[in-house]
Amino acid sequence: MKILMISDHADPLAEVGAKEAGGQNVYIFYLASFLSRLGVVVDVFTRWDRRNKKRIVKVNKNFRVIRVKAGPRHYMPRDNFLGVIGEFAQNILKQIKKENSKYDIIHTNYWFSGLIGLKIKKKLGIPMVHVFHSIGQIRFNTLSKFKLHKKDYDFFQKRILEEKRIARETNGIIATSPVEKKIIEDLFQVSPEKVKMIPIGVDETVFHACPPGQARKDLGLSTQKKLLLYVGRIEWRKGVATLLFAMPKVLKKYKNAKLFIVGGGRTQAAQKLDQAERNRLNRIVKQLGLTDRIVFVGPVDQEHLYKYYCAADLCVVPSYYEPFGIVPLEAMACATPVVVSKTGGLQYTVKNGETGYLAKPRSPGDLSGQIIRALSKQKSFFSPKCLERVHRLFGWEKIAKQYPEYFKKLIRLK
Ligand code: UDP
């Protein structure tokens, strides 16, 4: 089986943690890697966003990343992608013609890729499966409650209409949680049979448990303090500000607690993108008098992250909206409990009271309450349940196998 995968802005080989490189990049990388191990051939087409990146990278014998010229070969804000969709599709088709490639199915990610996929599907006559990652209407609802500019409003109207069209015209849709499956069925009025639920996975060889004491020693951290961890992009919707506002109450109960914030841009260009949010967070830290309690670690590679998860007593995911949320899975795979916002896929991945607790989104009061509740128990209370849940439901090895099975069904139906 040969898959034409499209991931417009999320290059699977990009360095993650910055403003626009996170979960989707990680998902595409692991999905393509695990599929390639099953003998499935995967070509990932992504936008050529830096002149000095190689056009084609052969990751292994079955997995290639092909950068496609669409707009300038440098950074372009994601919201400008609509203007280069035609060029993107044309250049994918050119590459296919040049190599005389024959694909069995198109797998598209995020709405711009969905639109590109619809164009290509028409030309190639093969089925298409779409993964939304984030749904315009839900994001719009979240933003309109808190902060929405007039220009955002017009853009969202366009996105909402186009996402409806993608849902109608694609052959299949993958939802990453039961919550998302229900939203897709209701919002886009598509039949339940059209939407297959396959969660995102975690690589248990990359994220695995290790003794917390040893992990702290290796990272040069105190073994005495309660250690809280945030991992992710530094972006408004990730809710880091809410976590900061929750800290004073946590510190009243656990005076020696420290919060480590992992993530953010690596390169100067990437740092520029999340600079405004980092400045805002730094101001909040100062305003709350927390300078000695919060550590901005910066970005950490996937292969080294497990040590931070292992070292932590608790990982916190305070998002305002989270379509799936890979970070809690990574934490749980390292035997670390999580406190997450009760939103989107987090309600599925985290079992309340067993692998951690759910907190009301954007509520520092509730978040601090749930953090204290989790810290009042020994980490060992949660650890076996965290490991068991990840292994049973979210190991990439098991999850990747569901893809070719589902794809075969769609190819037969076509
Ligand atoms: N991540 C990373 N290094 C960092 C910060 C984040 O590798 O410094 C990874 C993290 O391990 C996870 C992904 O970025 O795999 C974030 O995915 P998630 O779904 O939690 O959030 P999203 O980026 O989709 O909002």
Give the distance (Å) from ligand 1 centre to CA of residue 100.
36
Nearest Cα to Cα of residue 13 among 74, 71, 66, 88? 66
Q: Whose C-alpha lies nearest to ligand 1, atom 7?
A: 302
pLDDT at 322: 93
Q: Which atom of ligand 1 has the smallest separation from the CA of 200?
A: 19
Give the distance (Å) from ligand 1 centre to CA of residue 211.
23
Give the distance (Å) from ligand 1 centre to CA of residue 189.
31
pLDDT at 18: 67
* Residue 269 confidence (pLDDT) above 90: no
Q: Which atom of ligand 1 has the smallest separation from the CA of 298?
A: 8
Choice from 302, 320, 350 to test ligand 1 binding pocket (greatest atom count within 8 A of CB): 302
* Residue 240 confidence (pLDDT) above 90: yes
pTM, two decimal places: 0.96
* Residue 197 confidence (pLDDT) above 90: yes
Give the distance (Å) from ligand 1 centre to CA of residue 345.
15
Band the pLDDT of 151: cuts 50, 70, 90.
low
pLDDT at 410: 96
Between CA 157 and CA 114 the distance in angstroms is: 17
pLDDT at 148: 61
Band the pLDDT of 20: cuts 50, 70, 90.
confident
Give the distance (Å) from ligand 1 centre to CA of residue 26.
7
Query: Alpha carbon of 319 to those of 123, 282, 333: distances in Å?
Result: 39, 18, 20
Give ligand 1 pocket residues (Cβ under 6 A).
Answer: 16-17, 22-23, 26, 231-233, 262-263, 299-300, 302, 305, 324-327, 330
Q: Which atom of ligand 1 has the smallest separation from the CA of 325?
A: 19
Band the pLDDT of 186: cuts 50, 70, 90.
very high
Between CA 69 and CA 1 the distance in angstroms is: 26
Q: For 282-318, write each residue's pLDDT tens digit.
A: 999 999 999 999 999 999 999 999 999 999 999 999 9
